[in-house]
Amino acid sequence: MRRRLRLRRDASLTLLLSTALGLLLYAQRDGAAPTTSSPHARGRAAPRPTLGPRTFQLPDVGAAPPAYEEDTPAPPTPTGSFDFVSYLRAKDQRRFPLLINQPHKCRGDGTPGAQPDLLIAVKSVAADFERRQAVRQTWGAEGRVQGSLIRRVFLLGVPKGTGTDGTVTMGVGIRTHWHDLLRAESRAYEDILLWAFDDTFFNLTLKEIHFLAWASAFCPDVRFVFKGDADVFVHVGNLLEFLALRDPGQDLLAGDVIVQARPIRARTSKYYIPEAVYGLPAYPAYAGGGGFVLSGATLRRLASACAQVELFPIDDVFLGMCLQRLRLTPEPHPAFRTFGISQPSAAPHLRTFDPCFYRELVVVHGLSAADIWLMWHLLHGPQGLACAHSQPVAAGPFKWDS
Determine the angle formed by the axes of helices 178-189 and 129-137, rounding to 10 degrees: 10
Domain span at residue 192? 84-164+177-336+351-380
- The pLDDT of residue 54: 59
Q: Residue 342: which pLDDT band, with cuts at 50, 70 and 90?
A: confident
Q: Is the pLDDT of residue 38 over 50?
A: no
Q: Is the pLDDT of residue 289 over 80?
A: yes
Give the mean pLDDT of the chain.
77
- The pLDDT of residue 87: 63
Q: What angle do CA 228, 334, 350 make, to 5 degrees?
A: 95
Q: Residue 361: which pLDDT band, with cuts at 50, 70 and 90?
A: very high
Top-confidence range, 131-135, 179-183, 313-317:
131-135
In a domain, 192, yes or no: yes
CA distance to 59, 254, 258, 295, per residue, from 109 (Å): 52, 27, 37, 20
Indicate the number of domains in the chain.
1
Alpha carbon of residue 108 to chain centroid: 25
| Average pLDDT over every residue of 179-202 | 93
Residues 81 and 47: their CA atoms lie apart, in Å, by: 34
Lowest-pLDDT range, 66-70, 240-244, 383-387? 66-70
Q: Is the pLDDT of residue 272 over 50?
A: yes
Instruction: Give the CATH number, domain containing residue 142.
Output: 3.90.550
- The pLDDT of residue 90: 64
| Average pLDDT over every residue of 325-334 | 96
Which residues lie below 8 Å from residue 70, measured CB to CB, with a gap of 6+? none
In a domain, 142, yes or no: yes
Per-residue pLDDT tens for 133-172? 999 999 999 999 999 999 999 999 998 766 544 555 444 4
- The pLDDT of residue 222: 96
- The pLDDT of residue 153: 98
Lowest-pLDDT range, 12-21, 218-227, 277-286, 373-382? 12-21
Residues 353 and 287: their CA atoms lie apart, in Å, by: 24
Residues 228 and 143: their CA atoms lie apart, in Å, by: 19
Amino acid identity, position 103: P
- The pLDDT of residue 125: 94
In a domain, 141, yes or no: yes
Q: Is the pLDDT of residue 124 over 90?
A: yes
In a domain, 290, yes or no: yes
Residues 6 and 15: their CA atoms lie apart, in Å, by: 14
- The pLDDT of residue 26: 43
Please, what's the b/e burial string for 285-318 (b: 16 or more CB within 10 A of its CB; e: otherwise)?
Answer: bbbbbbbbbbbbbbbbbbbebbeebebbbbbbbb
- The pLDDT of residue 106: 93
Of 60 and 302, the structure prediction assigns the larger pLDDT to 302
HEC per residue, the chain: CHHHHHHHHHHHHHHHHHHHHHHHHHHHHHHCCCCCCCCCCCCCCCCCCCCCCEECCCCCCCCCCCCCCCCCCCCCCCCCCCCCHHHHHHCCCCCCCEEECCCCCCCCCCCCCCCCCEEEEEECCCCCHHHHHHHHHCCCCCEEECCEEEEEEEEEEECCCECCCCCEEEECCEEECHHHHHHHHHHHHCCEEEEEEECCCCCHHHHHHHHHHHHHHHCCCCCEEEEEECCEEECHHHHHHHHHCCCCCCCCEEEEEEECCCCECCCCCCCECCCCCCCCCCCCCEEEEEEEEEEHHHHHHHHHHHCCCCCCCCHHHHHHHHHHHCCCCCEECCCEECCCCCCCCCCCCCCCCCHHHHCCCCEEECCCHHHHHHHHHHHCCCCCCCCCCCCCCCCCCCCCCC
Per-residue pLDDT tens for 63-77? 444 433 333 333 333
| Average pLDDT over every residue of 223-235 | 96
Q: Is the pLDDT of residue 393 over 70?
A: no
Residues 47 and 64: their CA atoms lie apart, in Å, by: 22
Residue 100 · residue 198 · CB < 8 Å: no
- The pLDDT of residue 176: 64
In a domain, 28, yes or no: no
- The pLDDT of residue 52: 59
- Percent of the chain whose pLDDT exceeds 90: 52
Lowest-pLDDT range, 63-77, 163-177, 228-242, 250-264? 63-77
- The pLDDT of residue 171: 46
- The pLDDT of residue 201: 84
Half-sphere exposure of 169 (CA within 13 A, CB side): 8
Residues 107 and 218: their CA atoms lie apart, in Å, by: 9
Residues 228 and 364: their CA atoms lie apart, in Å, by: 11
Q: Is the pLDDT of residue 24 over 70?
A: no
| Average pLDDT over every residue of 285-295 | 95
Q: Residue 382: which pLDDT band, with cuts at 50, 70 and 90?
A: confident
In a domain, 50, yes or no: no
* Ramachandran quadrant class, 124 (left: phi over 0; alpha: psi -120 to 50; beta: rest): beta
- The pLDDT of residue 88: 62
Residues 300 and 216: their CA atoms lie apart, in Å, by: 6
Of 350 and 1, the structure prediction assigns the larger pLDDT to 350
Of 89 and 167, the structure prediction assigns the larger pLDDT to 89
| Of the candidates 343, 346, 336, 341, the residue with the CA atom closest to the CA atom of residue 316 | 336
| Average pLDDT over every residue of 118-130 | 96
In a domain, 229, yes or no: yes
Lowest-pLDDT range, 48-62, 198-212, 228-242? 48-62
In a domain, 127, yes or no: yes
| Of the candidates 112, 118, 202, the residue with the CA atom closest to the CA atom of residue 157 | 202
- The pLDDT of residue 155: 97
